[in-house]
A and B are shown apart, each in its own frame.
Chain A
Amino acid sequence: MVHSDRGAFTVKIIKIKDFAEFPGPRYRKLGPCSGEEFRDSVLEPAIRESGVDIQIDLDGAFGYGSSFLEEAFGGLVRLKIINAAQAKELSTHIKSDDDPTLAEEVKSYLTDAIDGLEQKAR
């Protein structure tokens, strides 16, 4: 994890490549470096410590599967680690210069998870 100064704030930067160069499946039971493991061991502790004032850097890792991304980010909303407003803010803190489609996909999972929760609440 890296810290970077953004104005007066210190922003925590989470680089996925530090967790896994080749991200794995959705669940822990399916293999190493899963989305579930990334959410529970990296994302959740960082959010508990700093809120959503973190930047998530997707660059440097290769071969993302949609399940990994959905479980890691959509799971944050489903498990109520973050609320809808925080999810919206987090979706603007995703960095993915190597493959811009990844950031877009993560945003879609956060939005879908919010919609899912709202539908359940009705």
Chain B
Amino acid sequence: MIIEASTLQTLDSLMRWLVALTGWGMALWGWRVRGRQSREIADHAEVNKAIDAALERIERLEDISISFWKDPDAPIVPAQVGAAVDSCIFYTQQLISLHPSRELPSTLFVEVRKQITTNMEHEARGLDHQRTRISRLVRMTGKLKREPVYKKHSLTKKRNPDDLK
């Protein structure tokens, strides 16, 4: 009887330890998962913020270049247009530094800069002279905004295939 009681006590004690350790293990695992998820969400939020900033620069470039070419009296100097292109590239590079698997759409940026800044110092401005250029630059900036580099991350668990790269 004494031996049986002692065995039961040991088993009881073992069970208690087992339950306690399992509890600790699960808590630790949950804490790590939660930490990883929080980090992922924070990273994605940061990348999304950088995407917003880069897209805003492209919108600004589109506005400034359309005004420049459409209106001969627009108070915009050529240097502002050139700087606006540089700014878009700089903000896109900042975004890439946060998410290095994304690629700078170089060829499209080259085309956009050519379309916007070629002969901007001496060609006649105004809708009559620059209708084709304006149409092209609107199409190109539109295409640029749809490039994969500016695709936003979902903050929920549903994964973006690009994230797995």
| A residues adjacent to B (C-beta < 8 A) | 22, 24-27, 30-31, 62-67, 70, 99-101, 104-105, 108
**Contact status B110-A25, CB under 8 Å:** no
Give Cα distance in the complex from A24 to B117, angstroms: 11
Chain B proximity of A61: nearest CB distance (Å):
10
Q: Chain A residues near B104 (CB, 8 Å)? A: 100-101
Given contacts A25-B121, A26-B119, A105-B114, contact A65 B82 (CB under 8 A): yes
Q: Chain B residues near A65 (CB, 8 Å)? A: 78, 81-82, 113, 117-118, 120-121
What are 28 pairs between A and B in contact, CB < 8 Å?
A25-B120, A26-B119, A27-B122, A30-B121, A62-B83, A63-B79, A63-B82, A63-B85, A64-B113, A64-B117, A65-B78, A65-B81, A65-B113, A65-B117, A65-B118, A65-B120, A65-B121, A66-B114, A66-B116, A66-B117, A67-B120, A70-B118, A99-B86, A99-B89, A99-B90, A101-B106, A104-B106, A104-B107
Give Cα distance in the complex from A105 to B86, angstroms: 14
Q: Chain A residues near B110 (CB, 8 Å)? A: 101, 104-105, 108
Main secondary structure of the interface of B (DSSP, over half): helix
Give Cα distance in the complex from A65 to B112, angstroms: 11
Task: Closest A residue to B113 by CB, please name it.
Answer: A66
Q: Chain A residues near B90 (CB, 8 Å)? A: 99
Give Cα distance in the complex from A65 to B117, angstroms: 5
Q: How big is the B interface, by class?
A: 20 to 34
Task: Closest A residue to B122 by CB, please name it.
Answer: A30
Main secondary structure of the interface of A (DSSP, over half): loop
Interface 1/0 per residue, B74-109 and A, CB below 8 Å: 000011011101100110010000000000101101
**Contact status B119-A67, CB under 8 Å:** yes
Given contacts A25-B122, A67-B118, 11 further A-B contacts (CB under 8 A): A25-B120, A62-B83, A65-B78, A66-B118, A67-B120, A70-B118, A99-B86, A100-B106, A101-B113, A105-B113, A105-B114
Given contacts A25-B122, A100-B104, contact A62 B78 (CB under 8 A): no
Q: Chain A residues near B79 (CB, 8 Å)? A: 22, 63
Chain B proximity of A73: nearest CB distance (Å):
13
Given contacts A99-B89, A104-B107, contact A63 B83 (CB under 8 A): yes
Chain A proximity of B5: nearest CB distance (Å):
79
